[in-house]
Amino acid sequence: MFECNRGKPVSTALSAKLTNLLAQWIATSCRPISVVEDDGLELVLQAATGVMKTEERHFAEACARQFLDVANQWGIADKISTIGTDSAPNMVAAGRILPFEHLPCVAHVVQRAIVMSLREGGFDGALAKCRKVVGHFKHSPANSDELNVQQASLGQVHEPLVQNVPTWWNSTLEMIKRVMRNRDAVYTTLSQQKHNLALPTNAEYEKLAKLEKLLEPCRYITELLGGGEYVSCSVVLPALCHLQHVMKISDDDPAYIVRFKAAFTKDLNQRSKKINLEWLKVATALDPRFKDLKCLPRAEREPVWAKLSELVKREEPALQPLGEENPEPPKKKTALLLMGSDSESDEETPEDNTVERYKG
């Protein structure tokens, strides 16, 4: 009955569930959609959209209770190790209440650092001019058509200008890129119109070009961490390390870039302290691409492996086959393992050997 759900194929189980819920709703409480507020439709919408409506105020305790209710309803409470949320205070507080590890959305953290840094870098004037130019074309179909004509005459692709909004990720970067790509088309179009717009000066265009180079790595990191088709937890610390490297101040940086980089680094460091760094370090170590832990200071690397060894020891009883509480490996195999080991300690446990082999 249902072929698509949020742009993705619907499983047979979900299709059957939706069909049954619709039948139940129609049979028990179906009314015109304009006045419907019944539980039957609510269940259908929950199954179809994956969203659950809550009638309570979003206090931390209520949010934590809602998370647990959903986990229990889905039968996955014993499979959850980590829960991710945004960085809203109530979500962070709910994360402390829940019996799971909590990770705030690091892409949100990066975007908030960008917003704060733009205020400190002295880009307000140039960005304000860009916003007014974009609004001039965006809010008038006639002006937009004239811009398209100029784009065509210059051999450019027809593309609308983009307005930046603080809550839209990477919108400032996209606005800058499109204004600069269409600089000649915008100038020619406006020269044929009556307007009171103040266009960015050459010096401001130069500032915007430098800002674009700084925001491009942030866009890449945001999209990398926001991916929904892969696990991104292990990439967080290497990504933040890359941003720290990009934002290092050099002798060639003008004063406004120095202010931007300093503000970005300071804000990012402050926010990074609240993102469960210890759990992210373990995730990074478990990714073979980053197990050298070069994104961490040398002094912080060994405690990560100690933590990982401890976690392996906790899981060891669950991994042993039934009926073999303490199976002993054949002596020949034990000797072979010892011959291949770089360690001279006779007190190493199998769990330690497992971690050491992985590190090597």
Residue 295: per-residue pLDDT: 92
Residue 356: per-residue pLDDT: 84
Residue 46: per-residue pLDDT: 64
Q: Is the pLDDT of residue 336 over 70?
A: no
Instruction: With cut-offs at 50, 70 and 90, classify the pLDDT of residue 229.
Output: confident
What average pLDDT does range 330-343 have in this prediction? 43
> Mean pLDDT across the chain, nearest whole number?
82
With a pLDDT cut of 90, the percent of the chain lying above it is: 39
Residue 69: per-residue pLDDT: 87
Nearest to 307 by CA among 287, 329, 278: 278
Encoded tokens for 232: 């991104």
Encoded tokens for 55: 């009638």
For residue 104, the surrounding DSSP H or E stretch is: strand 101-104
Where is pLDDT greater, at 320 or 109? 109
Where is pLDDT greater, at 58 or 52? 58
State how far the Cα of 219 lies from the Cα of 173, in Å rounded to an integer.
8
Residue 190: per-residue pLDDT: 92
| Structural contact between residues 326 and 316, judged by C-beta atoms closer than 8 angstroms | no
| Non-local CB neighbours of 176 within 8 Å, separated by 6+ positions | 130, 208, 211, 212, 215
pLDDT tens profile 169-179: 899 999 999 99
Parse the chain into domains and list their residue ranges. Answer: 1-53, 57-104, 108-277
